[in-house]
Amino acid sequence: MSKKRKNFTADGKKSGYNGKKGDIIEIEGTVLENLPNATFKVRLKNGHEILGHISGRMRMNFIRLLPGDDVTVEMTPYDLTKGRIVKRHGK
């Protein structure tokens, strides 16, 4: 019988773990309209319009978004046309 070897590094994290939170850009915006599949058109504070989808935590907690809500969007520097809506600030 062979035992499965756990792939952990000395600091307790899994090897292959890629915690690149530094690459994420957070920016404020306003929801313009609802689109299908929990997608929203968001106008950012700098005037650009992007497509944003609800993060898993917002979906689990049944946080609803309406046009006009101020939100925080996380974006990657690789695709500046899409983002993840992580927080609702209300109207």
Gap between the Cα atoms of 74 and 49, Å rounded? 14
Over the stretch 32-74, which tens digit does the pLDDT of each residue have? 999 999 999 999 999 999 999 999 999 999 999 999 999 999 9
Rounded to a whole number, what is the largest CA-CA distance in the chain?
61
pTM, two decimals, is 0.74
Q: Which two tokens stand for residue 15?
A: 């090897």
- Check if the beta carbon of residue 47 is closer than 8 Å to that of residue 28: no
The pLDDT confidence band at residue 3, using thresholds 50, 70 and 90, is low
Please give the C-alpha separations between residue 76 and each of 23, 29, 63, 70, in angstroms, as whole numbers. 6, 15, 23, 20
> What domains can be seen in the chain, in order of their start residue?
23-90 (2.40.50.140)
pLDDT, averaged across the chain: 86
Strands 49-54 and 70-76: unpaired
**Residue scoring higher pLDDT (91 or 76):** 76
